[in-house]
Amino acid sequence: MNAKGLQILVVDDEPDIRSTLADILDDEGYGVGQAASAEEAERLLQNDVFDLILLDIWMPGEDGLQFLQRLAQSGLEQPVLMMSGHGSIEAAVQATKLGAYDFIEKPLSLDKTLLSVSHALEAFRLQRENRQLREHSGVVQRPSGNSSVIVQLRDQLKKVAAVDSWALLLGEPGTGKEVAARYLHGQSRRSQGPFVDLRAAAIAQPNVTVELFGSEQEGRVVRGRLEMAHRGTLFIDEIADMNLESQARLISALQERRILRIGGTTPVAVDVRVIAASARDLQQAVAQGQFRQDLFYRLNALPLRLPTLAQRVEDIPTLVEEFMVGHSLREGLARREFLPEALEVLRHYPWPGNVRELQNLVERLLILSEGPQVTAEEVEGALGLDQRLSLMHSVSEEDFGGTLKRARERFERAFLEYHLARNDWNIARTAEMVGLERTHLYRKLKSLGIALRTDRRGDGELED
């Protein structure tokens, strides 16, 4: 277990034991805090983050077992090793029931103490990792696919992970910014630390500050996300939805590497890397006075833009497979085979909701299963394309009247309107699907009197 940066609190009323343990642990590379009583230890725990507690059982005032019980009731956040010069099986059993990791008898053996410390820290690290794996079982842990844009994104994330600067992930809603943030964290030197997320858009504005910094009220301490992310990564999704006060406190706290809980008076040291994400134009938000300029410049030092799903349609089969595996693991849904024509429909759909929309669609198709195979018609129905295109399939007696030229025009109009609707009126994709050059398609649409719609991607090629 790498001791670098890990903090241990020694709680013992005997000064010689405290100082000896502090010297030994310091030589091993641990940071050490000392307390002579439960009351003093509680003050230190409120103001600093410790990774392990060495706690003596027999102390004047509140003894170690009573203090351990209070810690357990308030939510024990670190392993505790109990120490006693009057060891007994009953005391060891009671300490273990209250949540202690191990029991060490005095006089302390140097080798046994260091071994117990190392084992306790490693065990709690593995517990945290297993908990995170369970919470995210079946969730994609890296930007998946082999398209050129996604390969480039992974390379960029690895380069950004090598440094410890703040990072900014930009992109449309549903493009996978949290997945990219987790991948960046996993590739960084902080990968052994916690990954904590804060979804600013989902929290009422007055509560964002408390969620970030925690609070102290009448002796009750609530730790905020910054403390939870100590020596790890804090991912702030939709950071533009944070109010200006929270933005100011955030940049001040992280520059000074310490925070002040709401209602508290003693600063708490924190070491956190921030990865922020937004679908909004932050530079425009700065110009409108809705986002702090200093925070924008700090974040914008390492900006990364995530591609839309429409820009990486060749990754759709890979994503579909991963989503099926995830839903199978989490909900026990049976996997289905997507027929080639079904995947073709997915490739030509514009995906306004990006990867999240695809994931929701896969889940819907698994839940509402109509057999072992997914057909093109089923996909079109799930996407609502069958309703949007139903008018294209109706043929009346009038359609057979008039000249052959008029009939051909009616067919061409229906044919092109069908494919325009199927491709969300995207000219480039429609031209590719119907086998026409873009300029030829424009001329054809104009001659048929088909009114164009503004491309939602804003490429400036379509006019109302």
My answer on whether 74 and 216 are in the same domain is no
CATH for 346: 1.10.8.60
My answer on whether 313 and 421 are in the same domain is no
My answer on whether 223 and 286 are in the same domain is yes
> 3-state class of 10 per DSSP?
strand
My answer on whether 274 and 177 are in the same domain is yes
Residue 457 lies in a domain: no
Q: Which domain holds residue 398?
A: 393-448
My answer on whether 320 and 339 are in the same domain is yes
Backbone angles phi, psi at 273, to 5 degrees: -100, 135
The answer to whether the predicted template modeling score (pTM) of the entire model surpasses 0.85 is no
Residue 455 lies in a domain: no
> 3-state class of 335 per DSSP?
coil
What pLDDT is recorded for position 390? Answer: 46
CATH for 417: 1.10.10.60
Q: Annotate 405-441 with b (16+ C-beta within 10 A) or e (fewer).
A: eeeeebebbbebbbbbbbbbbbbebbbebbeeeeeeb
Residue 170 lies in a domain: yes
What pLDDT is recorded for position 15? Answer: 92
Closest by CA to 82, choosing from 50, 114, 105, 107, is 105
My answer on whether 163 and 115 are in the same domain is no
Please count the structural domains in the chain. Answer: 4
Instruction: Give the integer Cα–Cα distance in Å for 126 and 223.
Output: 22
My answer on whether 417 and 333 are in the same domain is no
- Cβ(122)–Cβ(151) below 8 Å: no
pLDDT < 50 positions in the chain: 137-138, 389-395, 454-464
What pLDDT is recorded for position 143? Answer: 92
Residue 435 lies in a domain: yes
**36-73: per-residue pLDDT in tens?**
999 999 888 877 788 899 999 888 889 888 999 888 87
Residue 2 lies in a domain: no
Residue 69 lies in a domain: yes
Instruction: Give the integer Cα–Cα distance in Å for 306 and 174.
Output: 10
What pLDDT is recorded for position 111? Answer: 86
Question: What's the length of the chain?
Answer: 464
My answer on whether 105 and 34 are in the same domain is yes
My answer on whether 128 and 39 are in the same domain is yes
What pLDDT is recorded for position 428? Answer: 81
My answer on whether 85 and 156 are in the same domain is no
My answer on whether 92 and 199 are in the same domain is no
Residue 372 lies in a domain: yes
Residue 129 lies in a domain: yes
For strands 215-217 and 102-105, give the pairing. Answer: unpaired
